[in-house]
Structures are given as C-alpha cells and as structure tokens.
Chains A and B, each alone.
Chain A
C-alpha cells in the first residue's frame, strides 16, 4: 500500500491546532512512517503552487483548521477540497467559527475602525484602510477581501468529518490519525475524536442539588475540587458540551468553556445553556432572578465562545 498523503492548513486560526498536532511529540515520527505530509504551512515548506499542481483527489486526508474570514481562506478551502479525498473540519474554528467567529457580534466597519484607527498601538493619521487592489508602478498589488461575516468551513465546502476542540487534544488527534491510517473510516458527517455524551455525564465531581444564588468568575472564588463547579456558581458549560477532552479544564478547577461544541441533535449550544442556567437559578422573585442573571459576565461571549457563526443567532438585517 502506498503511503497516506496528508495535508493540513490554517485559515482564520491561532495555530493552536497545529501546536496540538505537534504535541503528539515523538509519535510524529510514526505519522511520517505511514503518511507523507504534502502540505502543512506551519511545519513543511510547500507552497500554494505545489497544491495547485497536484491532481484532483491526490491528497488522501486534509485536516483543515480555522474559520473562513477572508477570500484567501475560502479560496484555499475550495482548492484543498478539490485536491483531497477526505476533508476534516479540525477544531472549533473550522467546525463552527470558533473564537474568530465572535467577530460576528460586530460589523466589518467597526472592526476595521478599531484595528486600523482606534487601537492604542496604531498611528494612522491619514486613515488608510487596507484595499483589495492597489496600483503601484511595478503592477497591481492584491490583498484578500475581508468578509462581512466569519464563516465555518462547511459554509464554503463539503466537509466529510468534524473533529471538535479548541484545540482537539493530542491524544484524540493521535487516535484519529490511527483510524485514518487503518482505512476504517466512519460514515460521512461523523464527529471524530470525541464522545457523544455531555462533559457533565463524564464528570466525577459530586453533584447534589443545583441551586445557584450568585454567579462568580473563576478569579472571584476558591472552588471545592470535589464539588460540581456549576453548583458553586461558576458558569461551567459541561451540561451542554460534548465530552472527549479528557476533562482537562474541570480537572484543573476551571469551568468548561464549551470548546467541544454541542452534542448531537443540539443546533444551538448557547440556547441550550440558557435553558440549563434557567433551571439552576434559585430565585424567590423576578427581581432576584434578574440580579442573579445579571452577574453573568459577558453572557453572549460565554454562551457562543466557540460557535457563533454555526449557531441560530443571526445579524440584524
């Protein structure tokens, strides 16, 4: 059997998915034994032109990280889709927009103003904004177009598998590479490298009666390591988040932030969490309920931290 041809790309991403992949440490040598890496910008020196030169379907598996923020991301996603037999949306950003997707709470003009005019480290007295085309004596320079909205990978191309996490854990990455190398591929559309139950279901902390009188942020409270974090007033996303991360955050006394996304059948993780929170708030009057709920810091950013573009929330038209 010829060696597996593996590609990886980052669009709008922080590089954490690449780091998590490299965190399989010496096993990367085992990957090299079963697979040829034919494109991976962070680690090997192939260019876009090399990918363009491949025959269609030449790449066996493409692990695509990052959301689609601009025309370059979309162009490369479409190119890699054409050249790859299997396309994996790898990490929260590719699946549902991830952290970059929070930009959908703002308008493009506001983002440009903040970045190119207002931010403290910017000096731009002529108020120059980046242009997609600019003519200089040597020719025309092009920049990718910054889109109005952040999109997920499946908004622009057909996706075969989804691998959640911000980033997916190295152990899960290694397991998934093993499955791919064995050729025993799951059905199309499957979520891989995770479980189909909630984090709450796998949590070993003691859960008694959930009655929350006050919500805290992690720095405001020293938590009991044996007790459910939600019961202690931390907004743990465990009830609405897919398991598979080895419970890393909650094991370190940090509430789950929801990076593995919703479980199967749930289309809006944030809406589900509103439901979960509503059932634990212990208020005797509407005023008290208002006070308790108002203590949740940045609810929109908390409930949709990893999945705003993939959620039901849409921009006002």
Chain B
C-alpha cells in the first residue's frame, strides 16, 4: 500500500457569533481551507464541556479546536 500523508481529524467547537460566522463567511467567500476540521456549531464557546473534548479524543479525533 502506498504511504499516505497523515491527515489529522480535528473536531472544532465554534461559537455561532464569531468563529462559526467566520467559517461561514469563508464558505460564501469561496476561500479554500483544508477539510481536516469538522465543525460543531455551539451558541457560545462557553457551552464546551470538558466531556465533549474527552469524548472527541476517545472516539478517534486527533485534535480538538475550541474557538470563540
């Protein structure tokens, strides 16, 4: 099997009002960005519970991004 480049899976918890808005704007502006971040929209990054982070990592995510 050919060697494949490591592509991390990153779960992003993004605030609806800023970082999620930014990601959305990137989309409508047709800015290209790598598909490694899988975004979960929250109404506020204060909603992030450490359990979410643990769960993401234990279910196989390589990284977790909290932005807000």
Determine whether the beta carbon of A266 is less than 8 Å from that of B58.
no
Cα separation A271 to B50 with both chains bound (whole Å)? 5
Q: What is the distance, in angstroms, from A34's C-beta to the closest C-beta of chain B? A: 42
Determine whether the beta carbon of A272 is less than 8 Å from that of B49.
yes
Q: How many residues of A contact B (CB 8 A)?
A: 10
**Residue from B51, B53, B55, B58 within 8 A of A272 (CB atoms):** B51
Determine whether the beta carbon of A271 is less than 8 Å from that of B58.
no
A267 within 8 A of B: yes
Chain B contact residues, majority secondary structure? helix
**Residue from A274, A275, A312 within 8 A of B58 (CB atoms):** A312
Q: What is the distance, in angstroms, from B60's C-beta to the closest C-beta of chain A? A: 11
A-contacting residues, B3-56, CB 8 Å? 49-51, 53-55
Q: How many residues of B contact A (CB 8 A)?
A: 7
Determine whether the beta carbon of A272 is less than 8 Å from that of B54.
no
Minimum CB distance partner of A262 in chain B: B51
B-contacting residues, A270-285, CB 8 Å? 271-272, 274-275
Determine whether the beta carbon of A312 is less than 8 Å from that of B55.
yes
Cα separation A314 to B55 with both chains bound (whole Å)? 10
A313 within 8 A of B: yes
Q: Which residues of B come within 8 Å of A, CB atoms?
A: 49-51, 53-55, 58
